[in-house]
Amino acid sequence: MLRCGKILLALAIMIAIPGMAAAQATDIKSPQPEQTLLKPEQLDALVAPVALYPDELLANVLAASTYPLEAVQADRWVKANKNLKGDALKTAVDKQVWDDSVKALAGTPDVLAMMSDKIDWTKNLGDAVLAQQPDVMDAVQRLRAKAHARNKLVTNKQQKVSVQQQENKEVIVIEQAQADTVYVPYYDPATVYGDWPYAEYPPYYFGYPSYIGAGVIAAGLAFGAGWAIGRWGNYWGGGFNWGNRNLYVNHYNRATNIGNNWQHNPAHRQGVRYSNAGVQQKFGNNNLRTGAADRMDFRGRDGQKVLDTGKDRAGAGDRAGDRAGADRSGAGDRAASDRAKGGDREGR
């Protein structure tokens, strides 16, 4: 009887072990994203570098941030094709497979370079847009209100700033002074927003090009020469419905807008994992199928070749290292050789 019991026990263990091993393998193989949302103070820190961008540019930045590896790919392509200008550049960009929001930013290469250089920040921004777009837009409006109250966000020859009522909400709208030219603002968050109330979450700050003087930054917003976007019209024309907290890109492309609302396309995610469980459930499977090859090209087998979590922390190198005009990953070279202080921007 004892012998029979031992045999039965051995059989039970043999049957159980493979099942336990399979369960453990499944757990290791399929980690689930956390259902986490950023707090308002975290969102304020995250959008601080771009909250004062004109609406049309900001809409493209927010949409493009959800495709971080395409931003890297596009930036590398633009740098490798510096000889292309004007219509030739636009024609070549048309042939690329990137999302239209990314293609649009080829017309403002400084912004594209910033998103590529600060890829960790870009991914975090995109994840926030996907998981809590209304909260991201509220954060932008909070910071605009701070800058406006300090007279740092005003109408000038580069931009038109207006306070409007949308859906019974008071919002601040920033438009280009000239519809076919966009000026990228550079600013120190400490100057334009005032004392930052969240010591635990200091604002991201990526500095400014070396051709802009520190004295100008110390006064508020600084602008370089304008980027001519007239020929890029089919990629621009986006903006926000601030009252309903919706964004849209390119009026004419129904693939990226449902009605007047922008729609994320997981085919352009290129395999980058979604950090939020709800977003992962909505887009994840399609993203993994369509992005496997590109994920290998840009991230390597361990998934960290480009996306290096924690590299772009707010308040660390991004504030101290880039303050006082420090070049960001070659910004000085771009300023000197590519722009000649903005000389060829109008020709794009």
Bridge partners of residue 159, in order along the sequence: 176
The predicted structure's pLDDT at residue 9: 46
- Hey, how many other C-beta atoms are within 10 angstroms of the C-beta on 158? 19
Rounded Cα distance, 79 and 63, in Å: 22
Residue numbers in the chain where pLDDT is lower than 70: 1-35, 250-260, 285-348
Is pTM beyond 0.95 here?
no
Q: How far apart are CA 25 and CA 37, in angstroms?
A: 29
Residue with tokens 């202080």: 341
Whether 119 and 312 have beta carbons less than 8 Å apart is answered as yes
State the pLDDT at residue 337.
40
| pLDDT for the residue 233 | 75
Q: Write down the pLDDT at residue 271.
A: 84
Note the pLDDT of residue 249.
79
pLDDT number for residue 27: 47
Going 276 to 277 to 281 to 282, the CA torsion angle's sign is: negative
Task: Measure the CA–CA gap between 42 and 136, rounded to whole angstroms.
Answer: 10
- pLDDT at position 11 is 46
Amino acid identity for residue 101 in this structure:
S
Q: What is the pLDDT of residue 291?
A: 47
